[in-house]
Structure 1
Amino acid sequence: MKKVTVFIFLLLGIVACGNKAKKATNTQQNLVNAEPVQVGETQRGFEKAYFASGCFWCVEAIYESVKGVKEVISGYAGGHTKNPTYQQSNTGKTGHAEAVEVIYNPEVVSFKTLVDVYFGSQNITQKSGQGPDIGSQYRSIIFFQNEKQKEIIDAKIAKLNKQYNNEVAAEVMPFQKFWDAEGYHQDYKKKHPNNSYIQNVSNPRFRKFKAKFPDLLKKGY
C-alpha cells in the first residue's frame, strides 16, 4: 500500500512540474507577442534603453564609456519571473537575461548609435551566451519600446544578416520591465579591477569595443 501511495505522489509531482513548465513556457511566449511598454523621459530629457548581451558587468562598462550616456544600471529583463535574484537568474528558469538600463541624452547619442554599439561589442552569431558565459541568462536580447525603435533594430539586423548569412543570434523583444540587480553588481568592473573575470573576460571585450568606436568614447577612456 505504501508503494502505491508513494507512486501516486511521485506521479502527481511529475504532472505538477510539467504543468508549471508549460505555464512558464506559455508566459514567456506571451512576452514576445506583448505590446511594448514605453518608458517616459527622465528629468532633464534623458531617455532609457535596454540591452542584454552576456554578463552585465561587461555591458555596463561598455555603455558607460559612451558619450551622452549618463548612467548604466545592471539588472534583469526579458523573463516571466517577478523580482528575480541573481541566484534565480543563474538557474536559467526565470526567462530573464542579465541586462542593462542605459540612461542617455538623445541630443548627444541616438538610439540608433546605441544599437550600433550593442552589435559592435559582442559576438553577433553566438547563441545562448557571450564568450565563456553560456546559458539562457546570458543570451543576447535587444528591447524596443515603440515601433520606431523596432524599425531601427530590424534594419540593423537585416544589414548584419547579409554579412553573417542570416546568423544574427540576438532576440528582439518588446520591453516590459527591468529589474535592478543587487547592489554589489553595480559598477562591478570599476570596483573590482583585479577580479580575474574582469581581467580575463571584461577587459579584452572592452578593449575590442574601444578599438571599433574611438569616436564615441568619453574623455578618459
Structure 2
Amino acid sequence: MKKLIPILGVALLFSCNNAAQNITEKQQAVINAEPIEVPLKDGKARAYFASGCFWCVEAIYESVEGVEESISGYSGGWTDNPTYEASNTGRTGHAEAVEIIYDPNVVSFATLVDVYFASQDPTQVNGQGPDRGSQYRSIIFYQNDEQKKIIEEKKAALAKKLDAKIAAEIYPFQKFWVAEDYHQDYEKLHPNQRYIQAVSIPRLKRFQAKMPEVLKKNAKH
C-alpha cells in the first residue's frame, strides 16, 4: 500500500500540471485571436473593460457624459455561457467586465481609456481593492489596431508617470456575455448595501474627483 502512495502522488501531480497547461493554452489562444469589431448601432459604439467588481465599474462609466448605458457581464475567457458562480472559480478564463454603449461624437474611446485608468489602482494585479482573483483582473479590450495603439500608448505613459508596472492586460475583443439580471444597475438599485457603501461608492467618488470634466451634470455623488 505504501508503494502506491508515491505513484498516486505523481499521477495527481501530472494531472494538475496538464490541467494548468491546458488552461494556459486556452488563455493564450484568446490573447492571440483576431479582434472582433462591433459595428455602430443607432450611432452608438461599444467598448469593453474589466476592472475588478463590475458593480463598481458599471456605476463609474454611467456617470460619464456620452455614455448611454453600462452593462455588467463577463469577457476575456474561453468558456461559453459563463455564470457568476462559474467565473468566481477562476476556471473559465473570464473576468467581470462591462460593455459601454456610448456616443463617439460626445466621448472618444481614448477618453474612456482615461476613465478606466483614473478609476482604479492601475498597479494592482488580479484584483481591485478587496476583490482578488483572476476573475477581477484588469483587462482593456481592443477591436482594431487604432484602439490597440491608443491603449498601449496610454498604458506606457502611465507606467512612466508612476514609475511602476501597469497591471492591465490588453486583449483582442472576442465576445461579451451579459451577466445575470440581478447584477445590472446594482449600485443604483442597492445604494445602502454594505459592499456598495464600503467599496463601490468610495471608488466612484475618487474617480469623480479626478475627472470632474467628463461627468454628466447630474452624476456627482
Question: So what's the TM-score if we normalise by structure 1?
Answer: 0.92
Matched, 1:202 2:204: no
Separation in 2, partners of 1:128, 1:15 = 26
Matched, 1:40 2:39: yes
| Within-5 A mapping of 1:113-124 | 113-124=111-122
Secondary structure at 2:105 match in 1: coil
Matched, 1:20 2:19: yes
Query: What are structure 2's unaligned runs of at least 5 residues?
Result: none
- Cα distance change, pair 191–5 in 1 and its aligned pair in 2 (3 A): same
Deviations 1:44-96 (A, max 9, x none): 21000000000000000000111111111000111111111100111111111
Task: Report the AA paired with residue 178 of structure 1.
Answer: F
Task: Report the AA paired with residue 37 of structure 2.
Answer: Q
- Cα distance change, pair 5–161 in 1 and its aligned pair in 2 (3 A): closer
Q: Which residue number in structure 2 is paired with residue 154 of structure 1?
A: 152
Separation in 1, partners of 2:183, 2:95 = 14
Separation in 1, partners of 2:135, 2:202 = 21
Separation in 1, partners of 2:175, 2:7 = 40
Identity over the aligned pairs, expressed in percent? 61
Matched, 1:31 2:23: no
TM-aligned CA deviation for residue 159 of structure 1? 0.7
State whether residues 81 and 96 of structure 1, in contact with CA within 8 Å, keep that contact through their aligned partners in structure 2: yes
TM-aligned CA deviation for residue 14 of structure 1? 6.0
- How large is the RMSD of aligned CA atoms in angstroms? 1.9
Q: Which moved further from structure 2: 104-113 or 208-217?
A: 208-217
| Within-5 A mapping of 1:209-220 | 209-220=207-218
TM-aligned CA deviation for residue 150 of structure 1? 0.5
State whether residues 76 and 93 of structure 2, in contact with CA within 8 Å, keep that contact through their aligned partners in structure 1: yes
Secondary structure at 2:69 match in 1: strand
| Within-5 A mapping of 1:67-86 | 67-86=65-84
Q: Which moved further from structure 2: 99-108 or 12-21?
A: 12-21
TM-aligned CA deviation for residue 212 of structure 1? 1.1
Secondary structure at 2:35 match in 1: coil
| Within-5 A mapping of 1:132-171 | 132-171=130-169
TM-aligned CA deviation for residue 6 of structure 1? 10
Secondary structure at 1:40 match in 2: coil
Query: What are structure 1's unaligned runs of at least 5 residues?
Result: none
State whether residues 115 and 153 of structure 1, in contact with CA within 8 Å, keep that contact through their aligned partners in structure 2: yes
Q: Which residue number in structure 2 is paired with residue 51 of structure 1?
A: 49
Secondary structure at 2:46 match in 1: strand
TM-aligned CA deviation for residue 219 of structure 1? 2.1
Matched, 1:173 2:171: yes
State whether residues 24 and 80 of structure 1, in contact with CA within 8 Å, keep that contact through their aligned partners in structure 2: no
Q: Which residue number in structure 2 is paired with residue 101 of structure 1?
A: 99
State whether residues 123 and 164 of structure 2, in contact with CA within 8 Å, keep that contact through their aligned partners in structure 1: no
State whether residues 79 and 93 of structure 2, in contact with CA within 8 Å, keep that contact through their aligned partners in structure 1: yes
Alignment coverage as a number of residue pairs = 219
Deviations 1:74-123 (A, max 9, x none): 00111111111100111111111100000000000000000000001000
Task: Report the AA paired with residue 32 of structure 1.
Answer: I
